[in-house]
Amino acid sequence: MRKLRLGLSSREAEIVETVYLDSAVLDEVLFAASRTALEIVGALAGYAIRDAVYISSWKHLEGHVSEDEFRIETCALVGYAEALTTQRMLGIIHSHPSGQAVISLWDSHFAARSPYLWLIVARNQRLFRSYVHRGNGVVIELRSCTF
């Protein structure tokens, strides 16, 4: 049985500079976000290659969402990761229904304790922001692009 890794390794988290998100994935996330007043959350999968991460698929995680927060069941992330064949589960994306795509206090608290890339979209804006935990509780913003 292959070893399941959720998120980035600490080495990958140290060197990543840019997140490339498949524009079809961004469209799907924004479409889902546009249909609710609550946050939406999903798991992201793709590849980490040197200083870049390519996100090419996602899974909308239904669950405990509200207007300004969400919870994720770890078993849902594991289930998604186990179903992947060539990609890895690398991050989490969620929406800010009324705000901007800027990391909140709660977000940075969680991001600083997790190995996941942390992507945020705001409703009705075609952009996203990406963050990563570099270690020692330091969360930084990465360059965010689509492909």
Q: Which of 54, 56, 73, 57 is nearest to 65 (CA)?
A: 73
Cβ 115 to Zn ion shortest distance, Å: 18
Q: Under the rule (CB under 5 A), what is the footprint of Zn ion?
A: 104, 107
Distance CA 109, CA 116 (A): 12
Cβ 82 to Zn ion shortest distance, Å: 26
The CB-nearest residue to Zn ion is: 107
Cβ 57 to Zn ion shortest distance, Å: 21
For tokens 């909308």, the residue is 60
CB-wise, 48 or 93, nearer to Zn ion? 93
CB-wise, 57 or 104, nearer to Zn ion? 104
CB-wise, 12 or 107, nearer to Zn ion? 107
For tokens 């991050």, the residue is 91
CB-wise, 18 or 104, nearer to Zn ion? 104
Q: List Cβ neighbours of 76 (8 Å cut-off, separation of 6 or more).
A: 43, 61, 63
Cβ 145 to Zn ion shortest distance, Å: 21
